[in-house]
């Protein structure tokens, strides 16, 4: 097999009209479930012709970038930062940074009061995206399906809060019996059209049935398994909006139930307190749902494995949400390590002169 060809398509964000195809170097593209992904790259400018091509189209906030690997879409997002520069040898270039298409919703706010009464949580999410795209100039072509979670919720969003839509989606998802969301990029099978798909997964985004096996020694080149106990808590209480309408009196926030993991304390764990602020939540039931989800996540140290693999081992963007079986036998695991994980992040590094292309997979443990 030959070396895979990477290229960056530069398009208009609203229409997706192709503006140019640019050569890039030092490319790093990453995508995640649960947070925004990013692209970093350098556009070399060796002559006046390239400079004249690049200058008018690299427009932060207006330009879309798509990364192709052998004509397959591997990443898509919005250009947010450009740095034209000349180094000490006189070589000109543009350093560019972009964020996945979900970062658009960081830059859209609710300027009208919205209300959802006892409707499916996934439909509330779609309605928020519809609000963003329904206003003049707001449609960037995000599409979605219509499947439901079966969990109905009520939400009120005040125009006075002017909350970013990304934050509203994250808060809607981050409650007990919530969901996951991302914007997935691909091509339509029938037409080859580039697509931005709002992917909603209840309770999680999952893809594929059979596990993919990765081994070390083997396709896994390196791995690390950091454990972080700084977020650990076995006692939790969340704080909501102020429930005091008397401006002359002391402002007091709404408080969730105090959640205490009694079994942890009985098992010898020290008492560790945690809290989170939800200043826009003024409903006690909703605040308790946030607290329950946060308390469950905080009870054990976060272990976020990351493995770097060769890209010829069945790794594609569709690996996000897939379950893999990680098998390791080495000095750190002399008796063997054999555990199932879900892929929640992919960071791709194209090949260079002295290195092959690799992908770093961010993992989470599964039941």
Q: Give residue-wise pLDDT tens across range 106-123.
A: 999 999 999 999 999 999
Q: Is residue 148 part of a domain?
A: yes
Residues 141, 72 share a domain: no
The whole-number pLDDT of residue 102 equals 98
Domain boundary among 101, 135, 156: 101
As given in the structure block, the two tokens for residue 206 are 């999952």
Residues 313, 271 share a domain: no
The whole-number pLDDT of residue 354 equals 74
Given a cut of 80, is residue 83 above it in pLDDT? yes
Residues 240, 196 share a domain: no
Given a cut of 60, is residue 1 above it in pLDDT? no
Residues 218, 356 share a domain: yes
Residues 191, 149 share a domain: yes
pLDDT in tens, 154-204: 999 999 999 999 999 999 999 999 999 999 999 998 899 999 999 999 999
**With the C-alpha atoms ordered 353, 355, 356, 360, is the resulting torsion angle positive or negative?**
negative
pTM over 0.85: yes
The mean pLDDT value for 197-212 works out to 90
Residues 195, 118 share a domain: yes
Q: Is residue 77 part of a domain?
A: yes
Q: Domain span at residue 267?
A: 235-298
The whole-number pLDDT of residue 334 equals 93
Q: Is residue 21 part of a domain?
A: yes
Residues 292, 243 share a domain: yes
The total number of structural domains in the chain stands at 4
Confidence of residue 208 (pLDDT cuts 50, 70, 90): confident
Residues 143, 275 share a domain: no
Backbone angles phi, psi at 120, to 5 degrees: -60, 140
Nearest one of 113, 108, 165 to 138, comparing CA atoms: 108
The Cα 134–Cα 339 span in angstroms is: 45
The whole-number pLDDT of residue 209 equals 74
Q: Is residue 1 part of a domain?
A: no
Specify the CATH number for the domain of residue 66.
Answer: 2.40.10
Beta-bridged to residue 143, according to DSSP, are 197
Domain boundary among 274, 298, 322: 298
Residues 24, 77 share a domain: yes
Residues 290, 246 share a domain: yes
Q: Is residue 207 part of a domain?
A: no
Domain boundary among 255, 279, 298: 298
Confidence of residue 211 (pLDDT cuts 50, 70, 90): confident
For residues 164 and 282, the model is more confident at 164
Confidence of residue 347 (pLDDT cuts 50, 70, 90): very high
Given a cut of 80, is residue 284 above it in pLDDT? yes
Given a cut of 70, is residue 247 above it in pLDDT? no
Q: Is residue 206 part of a domain?
A: no
Are 39 and 349 spatial neighbours (Cβ–Cβ below 8 Å)? no
Full 3-state SS string of the chain:
CCCCCEEEEEEECCCCCEEEEECCEEEEEEEECCCCCEEEEEEEECCHHHHHHHCCCCCCCCEEEEEEECCEEEEEEEEEEEEEEECCCCCEEEEEEEEEHHHHHHHCECCCCEEEEEEEHHHHHHHHHHHHHHCCCCCCCEEECCCCCCCEEEEEECCCCCCEHHHHHHHHHCCCCCCEEEEEEEECCCCCCEEEEEEEECCCCCCCCCCEEEEECCCEEEEECCEECCCCCCEEEEEEEECCCCCCCCCCEEECCCEECHHHHHCCCCCCEEEEECCCCCCHHHHHHHHHHHHHHHCCCEECCEEEEECCCCCCHHHCCCEEEEEECCCCCCCCEEEEEEEEEEEEECCCCCCCCEEEEEEEECC
The whole-number pLDDT of residue 251 equals 77
**In angstroms, how far is CA 218 from the centroid of its own chain?**
29
Specify the CATH number for the domain of residue 218.
Answer: 2.40.450
């Amino acid at each position: 097999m030959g070396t895979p060809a990477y290229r960056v398509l530069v398009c208009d964000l609203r229409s997706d009209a192709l503006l140019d195809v640019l050569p890039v170097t030092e490319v790093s593209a990453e995508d995640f479930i649960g947070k925004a992904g990013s692209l970093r790259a350098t556009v070399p400018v060796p002559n006046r012709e390239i400079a004249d091509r690049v200058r008018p189209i690299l427009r932060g906030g207006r330009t879309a970038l798509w990364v192709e690997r052998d004509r397959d879409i591997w990443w898509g997002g919005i250009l947010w930062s450009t740095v034209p520069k000349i180094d000490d040898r006189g070589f000109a270039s543009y350093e560019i940074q972009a964020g996945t298409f979900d970062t658009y919703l960081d830059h859209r706010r609710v300027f009208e009061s919205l209300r959802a009464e006892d409707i499916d949580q996934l439909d509330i999410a779609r309605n928020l995206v519809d609000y963003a795209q329904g206003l003049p100039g707001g449609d960037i072509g995000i599409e979605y399906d219509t499947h439901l979670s079966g969990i109905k919720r009520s939400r009120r969003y005040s125009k006075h809060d002017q909350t970013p839509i990304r934050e509203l989606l994250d808060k809607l998802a981050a409650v007990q019996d919530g969901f996951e969301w991302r914007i997935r990029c691909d091509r339509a099978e029938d037409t080859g059209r580039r697509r931005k798909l709002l992917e909603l997964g209840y309770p999680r985004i999952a893809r594929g049935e059979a596990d993919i096996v990765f081994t070390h020694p083997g396709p896994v080149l390196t791995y690390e398994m950091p454990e972080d106990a700084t977020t650990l808590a076995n006692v939790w209480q969340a704080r909501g909006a102020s429930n005091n309408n008397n401006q002359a009196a002391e402002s007091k926030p709404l408080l969730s139930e105090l959640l205490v993991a009694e079994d942890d304390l009985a098992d010898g764990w020290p008492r560790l307190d945690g809290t989170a602020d939800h200043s826009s939540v003024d409903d006690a039931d909703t605040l308790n749902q946030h607290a329950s989800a946060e308390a469950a996540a905080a009870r054990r140290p976060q272990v976020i494995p990351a493995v770097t693999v060769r890209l010829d081992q069945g790794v594609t963007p569709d690996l996000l949400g897939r379950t893999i079986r990680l098998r390791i036998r080495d000095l750190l695991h002399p008796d063997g390590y054999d555990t199932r994980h879900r892929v929640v992040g992919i960071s791709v590094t194209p090949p260079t002169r002295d290195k092959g292309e690799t992908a770093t997979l961010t993992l989470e443990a599964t039941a």
